[in-house]
Structure 1
Amino acid sequence: MSTVLMWFRNDLRLHDQPALHAALTSGATHLMPVVCQPPVDQVTRWGFARVGPHRRAFVAAALRDLGARMAAQGNPLQVCHAAPATALPALARAVGATTVVCEDIAAPYEQAEVAALRAAGLQVRTVWHSSLLQPADMPWPASDLPGVFTTFRQMVERAGITPPAPLPAPGALLPPPAVSADVLQTLGAGQGAVTAGVDAGNAAGQDPRSSFPYATAACDGGETAALAHLAQYLARKLPHSYKATRNGLTGLQYSSKFSPWLATGALSARQVFADLKTFEREHGANDGTYWLWFELLWRDYFRLLHCQHGAALYRAQGLSALPLAPHNTQGFERWCQGRTGEPLVDAAMRELAATGYLSNRLRQVAASYLIHVLHGDWRAGAAWFESQLVDYDLYSNQGNWLYIAGRGTDPRGGRRFNPVKQAQEHDADGSYRRLWGML
């Protein structure tokens, strides 16, 4: 008997799962699927929880759904409340495994997790599958990624690069190995277990003001709801109106709302693309369907940027030589609490704190205000979004904050959004600000 450990990370799904496919075809006879949950009390250097209640609740829902799907195939998901460097070597010893298969994540913290497993003597096979396009299919090596998104997009389109077809969900899983209850108890593991306290966000998850009420059935965090949402979005022909509505501020319908499920991996970008192309063949393409492709390419660009620059993206100066101004601690606290005195920014930050979601337009406005008006440290803002957002994506979050701060690859030295002008253009009647008590 041989066992392979399948370590789920930001890929909480069975459809289009190359890492799981690699584990199932590795020659092993048994499979142990496992996920490692961060501790609830883990804090950032800025003094707040690294994973707040909204995000914990949404990820917990994704894990429940994944666990149920795997249990239906006879191999329940083990959720460990211990660091991977502790849990995975212990599980490997208990079941006689030497190999771990997992998603490859090109960020310093996640790379260090893999390095720790290898240092513990495990063989770790990482599989890249979070992007739409494969890095190996690009017409340049990772080190030569164009420094401007528009150039990247044009080169991809001219070269006619298309994503691989998504893999179907496996029809069957390998059986689980025998493992003692004592080992699982030591690691805080359990079948379908989730982090204590995840229900703290449930009331907010049903807030009638929320643009993504994650505690409702339609917005549940799991793969089942993700695929259902994609299907209904296409059935209602909403891609055709995507470009015209994507800058809305309130409601479930103003944008695709794919991002929460893409962020946890409950939905594959390649599945979205494949279904979108089928939609275009049946109903026609327009600016809206193209703009969905455009946004998925932005998502890929931030991933490839990590492959190119790695840890440099997490330095205070980012990729720039700009000096870092002293952090405005009091201003940052007012910003987090929605008490800056700028109505649109405060409404946005109150929505984020109350619901765990915020429109892309307001994310940009709020980030710009913290960086360019309050002179806050962009890294603190990025960490706050990481803590709060149900659709936190480490690549896009880091890339967008660098972009606004002028510390990424963008040649224009950052983005400054005038909140008064933005309110006039996107909340002319004041309905959004009134909704959040700012008018």
Structure 2
Amino acid sequence: MSPTKTSERTNGSGTPNNKMETAIYWFRNDLRLDDNPALVSACQSASQIIFVYCHIQHPDTRWDTPRSSGHRQFFLASALADLRQQLRVYGSELLEVTQSAVSCLPELAFAFNTRTIFCEEIAAPEEQDEINVLRSHGLILNTTWQSSLLAPAALPFTADALPEVFTVFRHAVENAGVIPPAPVRRPHLLPPLPEKFHQIAQIWKRTEQHVDANKNVPGAGCHFDPRSSFPYYQPAFGGGSTAANAHLQQYFQRGLAHTYKQTRNQLTGHDYSTKFSPWLASGALSARQIYTALKQFEADYGANDSSYWIWFELLWRDFFRLLHLKYGRKLYTAHGLSELPVPSHYQENFHRWCQARTGESLVDAGMAELSATGTLSNRLRQIVASFLIYDLQCDWRAGAAWFEAQLIDYDVYSNQGNWLYIAGRGSDPRNGRRFNIQKQVKDHDSDGSYQRLWTTN
């Protein structure tokens, strides 16, 4: 698959010859107006634009797990509410549809007398299948690869020649001096809505989700938990780009980037990690916006190992994206990229893990936090994943599915890449990562405070 934008009706310079009458902009995991090249391309190409977000109620997975928790749903609703308000400032609107993209976009395109759709490129199987089905309906899909920090075309190797090991990848990028592109400014104006937009939208739109932090998660069967390290129900941690940019600014203003490496393995709290990942996952914030703020911070206050480590983590995020460009659907098979046998799976063990009933205190504390809040520290994600795979002898794909359901910062690339890495079925030549639980307790919760926090009602 190609990471480049597919576009028709362009001249040799890649700019539109003539503006088309109407186009649909399909928001996926890019819920922002700033640094959104696909949106800029749409605005330059069309005289009128309909902005659409498609909700779909997925059936449960083969592991008997839901596809999305109330935590994720609330955070998404918050992000979409913020995006809608920003679009309204421009005189536009966001049409939310409770159907899959392949179900509604062909009919919407017909209703608005257009065949043209703009969206971001997502190199994961389900998302690629959506694009292929839409094209089979005769629609013109203009897709733009834009979620990575680095532009694939600027790398010192092609996607097919991506190094198998992250360290080799990182050294190649740094030795070549690859610099991320600057964030793209939001359009000064948005093309207007078609004249008949409101008439047609009335048939399709779903009821707006009003986000109220004083109420429980809508339809989730759970409650907001004051112990959360990312209290998404508070305005400062809301899902939209408004909260994301405010958090980005305050994080660097407070100098937290100079201590990140020392605190990143802590288990609980608001400030031990950057907390950028939920907004990165929904696209309310881009990696290039973070990089720009990081470099400005280093220019003003100096660089150190900790500020470098933020760049390091952004490169890991890119590496998992590029793995998808190289291997695609193979990353979702039982074997992954390995020659290991099909993993064993004990469904009862898996259910006990999901329900925080394994009998291992640190693991149960982590799984309790995950279910109660939709978040979990990076250190604990590795610990509970290792325990599921190696101690409970369960299929790594079941764990990946549970994380997809629960995590408000679920990202298809990073989730798949990290589970493959722990299971020893990714591109790394090491045979996985099995954690010694007692050593982890000694190193990260020696006083038992975290375990008491999440195992005591």
* TM-score normalized by the length of structure 1: 0.96
1:131 and 2:148 are equivalent in the alignment: yes
Q: Tell me whether 1:163 sits opposite 2:180 in the alignment.
A: yes
Contact 1:233 1:239 in 2 (8 A): yes
Q: For 2:156 and 2:345, how far apart are their aligned partners in 1? A: 41
Of 31, 38, 43 in structure 2, the residue corresponding to residue 19 of structure 1 is 38
Contact residue 5 and residue 34 of structure 1 kept, 8 A: yes
Aligned pairs for 1:25-424 (under 5 A) are 25-26=44-45, 28-39=46-57, 42-179=59-196, 183-189=200-206, 199-200=218-219, 204-205=223-224, 207-424=225-442
Q: Does the Cα contact within 8 Å between 1:347 and 1:438 map onto a contact in 2?
A: no
CA change 1:398–1:91 in 2 (3 A) is same
Given that residues 54 and 98 in structure 2 are in contact (C-alpha distance below 8 angstroms), is that contact kept between their aligned partners in structure 1?
A: yes
Query: What is the CA–CA distance in structure 1 between the aligned matches of 2:195 and 2:139, rounded to whole Å?
Result: 19
Q: SS of the residue aligned with 1:243?
A: helix
Q: Is the 8 A contact 1:76 1:192 kept in 2?
A: no
Alignment deviations for residues 277-318 of structure 1 (CA, whole Å, 9 cap, x no partner)? 011000000011100000000000000000000000000110
SS in 2 for 1:29: strand
Who is 1:8 aligned against? 27
Matches of 1:246 and 1:201, distance apart in 2: 30
Deviation for aligned residue 1:200: 3.9
Deviations 1:113-157 (A, max 9, x none): 001110111000100000000111111111100000000000000
Unaligned runs of 5+ in 2: 1-19
Q: In the TM superposition, what is the alpha-carbon distance from 1:182 to its structure 2 partner?
A: 6.5
Pick which of 168-177 and 399-408 moved more.
168-177
Counterpart of 1:379, as a letter, is R
The residue type equivalent to 2:283 in the other structure is: G
Q: Any stretches of 5+ residues in structure 1 without a counterpart?
A: none
Whether contact under 8 Å (2:222, 2:372) holds in the other structure is: no
What letter matches 2:111 in structure 1?
A
Quote the Cα distance in structure 2 between the aligned partners of 1:367 and 1:217: 31
User: Contact conserved, 2:365 with 2:455, CA < 8 A, in 1?
Assistant: yes
2:368 aligns to what SS in structure 1? helix
Q: CA deviation at 1:44?
A: 1.4
Are 2:364 and 2:455, in contact at CA under 8 Å, matched by a contact in 1?
no
1:42 Cα deviation after fit? 2.8
C-alpha displacement at 1:256, in angstroms? 0.3
Displacement of 1:429: 0.7
Cα 1:349–1:191, aligned 2, differ >3 Å: closer, same or farther? closer
Paired letter, 2:415: N
Distance (Å, rounded) in 1 between the aligned partners of 2:38 and 2:105 = 16
Contact 2:368 2:455 in 1 (8 A): no
In 2: Cα distance, 1:332 partner to 1:382 partner: 12
Structure 2 residue identity aligned to 1:273: Y
Structure 1 pair 76–329 and aligned structure 2 pair: CA distance change class (3 A): same
Q: How far apart are the structure 2 equivalents of 1:168 and 1:358? A: 33
Provide the aligned length of Structure 1 versus Structure 2.
Answer: 434
Instruction: Output the amino acid matched with 1:208.
Output: P
Q: Distance in 2 between matches of 1:203 and 1:366?
A: 22
Please say which of residues 81-90 and 376-385 is displaced more in the overlay: 81-90
Partner Cα distance (2:206, 2:119) in 1: 18
Q: Distance between the aligned counterparts of 2:265 and 2:168, measured in 1?
A: 24
Under a length normalisation based on structure 2, what TM-score does the superposition of the two structures give? 0.92
Partner-residue secondary structure (3-state), 1:199: coil
Amino acid at match of 1:364: Q
Kept in 2: contact 1:82–1:187 (CA 8 A) = no
Q: Deviations over 1:302-353 (max 9, x none)?
A: 0000000000000011011111233110000000000001000000000000
Q: Is the 1:3–1:97 Cα contact (8 Å) retained in structure 2? A: yes
2:47 and 2:209 mapped to 1: Cα distance?
Answer: 23
Amino acid at match of 2:118: V
1:91 Cα deviation after fit: 1.1
CA–CA distance in structure 2, aligned partners of residues 268 and 118 of structure 1? 27
Q: Which residue of 2 aligns with 1:427?
A: 445
Q: Secondary structure at the match of 2:383?
A: helix
Question: For the Cα contact (< 8 Å) 1:344–1:438, is it kept in 2?
Answer: no
